[in-house]
């Protein structure tokens, strides 16, 4: 049976800032940092991002509720610092959900939703929610 794949991350996005400053202020190591234009041929990404992510989960059942909650619980004690960072560096914040759906019709689709506490946190810090979904390419080993 093919499995779904997904992760959830919280990001600070901006055009002209040093992500290491966010690390210092929050005292949290990011999972990933992307720099504006680091892929010069495609001029991507369009912004610099500091990201705190869940692990990439590969399973039949992906629980976005739980994944989003784990990220926001980590950041919840830092709400005032997050607001300060956004203002100081003129940044936006987002909760990003990235999902790859199995094309196997016998596979369950991920549960996409958010707990009240997650929505409350996102409202307090002024973050948007972005959900990117993709079809997971077929693995030839699975066909044989």
Q: At 139, is the pLDDT very low, low, confident or very high (cuts 50, 70, 90)?
A: low
Residues 118-132: tens digit of each pLDDT:
999 999 999 999 999
pTM for the full predicted model:
0.89
Q: Where are the domains of the chain?
A: 4-143
Please tell me the predicted confidence (pLDDT) of residue 1.
54
- The alpha-carbon radius of gyration of the chain (Å, integer) is 17
Q: Is the peptide bond before 45 cis (omega within 30 degrees of 0)?
A: yes
Q: Crossing angle for the helix pair 19-26 and 79-89, nearest 10 degrees? A: 150
> Average model confidence (pLDDT) for the chain?
90
45-79 pLDDT per residue, tens: 899 999 999 999 998 888 999 999 999 999 999 99
């Amino acid at each position: 049976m093919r499995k779904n794949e997904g992760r959830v991350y919280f990001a600070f996005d901006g055009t002209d800032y040093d992500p290491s400053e966010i690390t210092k202020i929050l005292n949290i190591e990011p999972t990933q940092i992307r720099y504006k234009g680091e892929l010069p041929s495609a001029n991507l990404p369009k912004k610099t991002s500091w990201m705190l992510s869940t692990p990439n989960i590969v399973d039949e059942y992906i629980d976005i509720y739980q994944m989003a909650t784990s990220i926001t619980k980590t950041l919840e004690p830092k709400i005032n610092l997050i607001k300060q960072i956004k203002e100081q560096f003129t940044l936006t914040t987002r909760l990003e959900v990235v999902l790859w759906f199995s094309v196997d019709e016998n596979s369950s689709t991920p549960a996409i939703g958010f707990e009240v506490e997650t929505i409350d946190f996102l409202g307090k810090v002024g973050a948007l929610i972005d959900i990117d979904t993709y079809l997971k390419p077929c693995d030839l080993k699975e066909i044989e």
